[in-house]
Amino acid sequence: MQESCGRSNLVSASFSIHPMSDDFKDIILGALKEVDTSNVWLETDDVSTSVRGTSAHVFDVTKALFMHAASTGKHVAFQASYSCGCPGGSNENVNHEVDDIPVNKETIKDTKQYVAAKFSLYPLGGGNYMDLIYQQIEAMKEFVTVSSAPLSTKLEGEAIQVFDGLEKAFNATVEGGASHTVMTVSISANSPSHK
């Protein structure tokens, strides 16, 4: 029996953080050291880091890791794919007994960090997917500046608001009935090309 994400609330993310600096290793390891990952399963290899847990904790961890890396002032790029309801997904190594209170929120809540981002939303297994995508793009306008971009939607604003908007769009898509939801995200902080 396939369980939809809406019932299990299990989300996975695979992401990479790319600091544009000679001390990139220290920036990444420093961010990992600063962030509480106790409520997610986490595994890092030579390409990316994967996390799995409830939506609240997966977004909390990925947001906090990016925020800590970006707080160095170095140009940092972040690439992530979030997924819920994947037929090939696993719920192994996930603590299902945790609450949904984000444990890293307090450490980053006052951080001001302008970012530019792009995201694409893929509600798989549903009929009116474009309507669902357009609804979430409209909802993002509450948080940040939104414009169209090739194959994606561009977002600009404070990093915390961008991440909060992405999380709400992802969760609303899941709750909208998509049996498998995927969202891809690219975020850039401290870029010399930012206005």
Extents of the domains making up the chain: 16-85+103-189
String of DSSP letters for 59-126:
HHHHHHHHHHHHTTSS-EEEEEEEEES-TT---TT--TT--S--TTHHHHTT---EEEEEEEEEEET-
The residue among 189, 171, 192 whose CA lies nearest residue 17 is 189
pTM: 0.88
pLDDT in tens, the chain (195 residues): 334 454 456 899 999 999 999 999 999 999 999 999 999 999 999 899 999 999 999 999 999 999 999 999 999 999 999 999 887 766 666 666 778 899 999 999 999 999 999 999 999 876 677 888 888 999 989 889 999 888 899 999 999 999 999 999 999 999 888 889 999 999 999 999 986
Class of domain 16-85+103-189: alpha beta
